[in-house]
A and B are shown apart, each in its own frame.
Chain A
Amino acid sequence: MTKQNREDNKDLQLQSPEKGADDKLDLGFQYLSNALRLSFIALKLIMIALVILFLASGFRTVGPDEEALVLRLGKIRGVGEERILGPGAHWVFPYPIDEIVKIPVEKKVNLAINSFWYYQTGQEIVSGTKRQVPPTQPLNPVRDGYCITRSEKQSAEIAGVDGSDYNIVHSKWQLTYQIVDSESFFRNVYVGDIKPGQDYFDVITRSINPLLKAVFDDAVVTAMVHYSIDEALSSQDRIPNHVKKLMQQKLAEQMNSGIEVVSVQLTDITWPRQVDLAFQAFITASNDKEERISKARTYTENTLNAAAGPVARELFAALHDETVREQEKDLLWSRAAGAAQATIARARAYATKVVEDAEADAEYLNKILPEYRQRPELVIQKIHRDAVVHVLEKADKKIMIQRTEGEGGREVWIRVGED
């Protein structure tokens, strides 16, 4: 290029002496010649600039969350891993030889799916109210969205039908997806043409969302018929995982779309408004049941604690278990509290006392026996007197009666030692 430039300059220099000769002949012609020469230079500069621009247009940057494929004359360039350009600056031949196709691989896209929710007016959506609807108001198949769930096993038995009874449930979902295989995606999934001024990511998203919505709806419908309404209402992850699996199967196996489902979330699920009262009543009943049971459990805890303390259950089990050794049972009894412990403690106290009393009696007899044998009367008198004194001392009230002799005699009561 520079060589050509120099040659062009030489041409210009060759022209200049001629021009000096012409100067005298025609001043106007010289002006014209000058103007032509200048415009010729300008034209050349523009052309050089265009060539440089043309080559520079081959520089492309691939963003951190993108991958790119290069189409050389329409065909994907490279072999194996070389086919895919990672983030960074790349040079490709300018159009029409090479064409770079960017695919947003690391971008997760969220898609809210409301096609299984009942129809709500704009006002209802904004205010978030749930309108009361009588059971006689049908669901409009065009306007209202819903899923069909299978019936309960036992109710099918009761109804005596072939198990094809079903329920209706409304749900809202959120899908997150991501392109993972840029080549499969590019080859297989239709994306609209990117017009100037449009963001390619928006165009891709807009092009594939209908496909994903359709596949997602399909997966939800297919999954839901496998669950009963109670399972659907209480399922944490089971149904979303099922939906995810079905969807992934279609996207990967049947379509080889290069799109991966990142996550499926069940954001809301409810029974139809038409049956709201019955379901609310059921919830109340369920709560009552829980409460009753928990109260009964509390009663059990208290009762058992009062009976034998924390070891009550263990103790009870040990009583019924032949294999538990006596030693272990004794250990359990020793740890028992409450009424059982009190009963046993009382018995222990009694036993101790009985033994001690007996021993004390024996000892006392032994001690006093020699004295008694010598002076039986005195000893008995002494013991008797001591006893009477002891008893009278301890008595709260002491009453002495003097009865006069004979019939019709009177009694005289004397209170002794009263405060």
Chain B
Amino acid sequence: MKNITITIFIILIVVILCLYFASFQVRETESALVTTFGKPKRVITEPGWYFKWPAPIQQVYKFDSRMRVYEANLGETTTKEAVPIIVNTYVVWRIAEPLQFFNANERGSVSEAERKLLSHISDTQNRIIGQHNFGEFVNSDSTKIKFEDIEREMRDDLNINQNIKGRYGVEVKTVGIKQLKISEDVSKDVFARMIADRDRKTEATKSEGEAEAISIKSDANSIKIEILAAATARAKAIQAEGDAQAAKSYKLLEADPPFAIFLQNIEAIKATLEKNSVIVLSADAYPFSLLREIPVLVPRDPNESK
């Protein structure tokens, strides 16, 4: 019994050891290359469990096939019309072909691959940017800006024209420009222009403000004048209506015009001397004449009046 246990145990250990030396896993994120005596034999891109001959005969090299970002340095280049610009390009790349990657880079070294990629990036960058005008990077007309197209062209140039996949087993997913700058000297010119621009706008704003304020005020005044004129016209109409209505009553005065005029004159005098008046009268004038002499009055015969 004891022997069986030990035997099973030993077999188990041997099996595990065999599996350890003669099989390997390829993770979902990896690809692998199996070499026999140093020569590439098998490329594995599907994840799973694989067998191989133990160590000295076959060896496995695994490559992380996920996307990595690599940034080139800030570099000066020129556009089609020879405007110097400074750009910083980055690429997002992955190992796509394990065999080519292994062959091109010493035992699949990532840093070596990046070094090689760098020269291609600057090459592509200079060439593609050299095919475009500066106005395709920056333009007051949005439709003329080709920024994203330029980035796409750079990616395609790396993948297709420079054939980095065939050469290094590397695929570029994205190329982007993460800094777009200008030289120090040009920046000074830009400041001068910005200041001139701003000064012009400041002046324009000042005069605009003045003009607008004036126009608002004059609008107000003309509205006011027009309303008041309309109000006056309306008032006149109302007065005229009143006069017309009053004229109807004057017809009744026709019964004795001179008397009516007399009454109106009396009223007029009363009204005009209503307030704050100083009256200067001759002593002969009524009623002060009574102070000077008594009128001669003769009583009438009561019958005579009848």
Contacts and interface: CB of A to CB of B under 8 A. Distances in A.
A358 B260 CA distance: 11
Enumerate the 3 nearest inter-chain pairs by beta-carbon distance, A residue then B residue, closest first.
Answer: A351-B242, A289-B209, A347-B235
A388 interface: yes
Q: Specify which of B5, B133, B182, B242 lies most central, judged by the most chain A CB atoms within 10 Å of its CB.
A: B242
B177 A351 contact: no
B236 A347 contact: yes
Given A74-B27, A362-B252, A288 B209 contact: yes
Nearest to A380: B262
Interface stretch (A19-27, A56-64, A103-111, A147-155): A147-155
A344 B249 CA distance: 24
Nearest to A228: B140
A115 interface: yes
A315 B30 CA distance: 81
Interface stretch (A173-181, A261-269, A274-282): A274-282
Contact-residue bracket for chain B: 35 or more
Contacts of B90: 214, 218
24 contacts: A140-B184, A150-B142, A150-B145, A168-B190, A188-B66, A211-B69, A226-B145, A254-B92, A281-B202, A286-B205, A289-B209, A312-B223, A313-B223, A316-B226, A340-B227, A344-B235, A350-B238, A361-B250, A361-B253, A365-B263, A372-B256, A387-B270, A389-B287, A395-B279
Contacts of B226: 316, 319
A368 B278 CA distance: 31
A310 interface: no
Interface of A: 4, 7-8, 10-11, 69, 71, 73-76, 96, 99, 115, 135-136, 138-142, 145-153, 155-156, 162-168, 186-191, 210-211, 214-215, 217-218, 221-222, 225-226, 228-229, 246, 250, 254-255, 257, 271-272, 274-275, 277-279, 281-282, 285-286, 288-290, 292-293, 295-297, 299-300, 303-304, 306-308, 312-313, 315-316, 319, 333, 336, 339-341, 343-344, 346-348, 350-355, 357-359, 361-362, 364-366, 368-369, 372, 380, 383-385, 387-392, 394-403, 412, 414
B239 A361 contact: no
Given A150-B140, A358-B250, A319 B230 contact: yes
Contacts of A306: 224
A222 B142 CA distance: 11
Contacts of B235: 343-344, 346-347
Q: Specify which of B48, B243, B281 lies most central, judged by the most chain A CB atoms within 10 Å of its CB.
A: B281
B13 interface: no
Interface in B209-268: 209-210, 212-214, 216-217, 219-221, 223-224, 226-228, 230-232, 234-239, 241-243, 245-250, 252-253, 255-256, 259-260, 262-264, 266-267
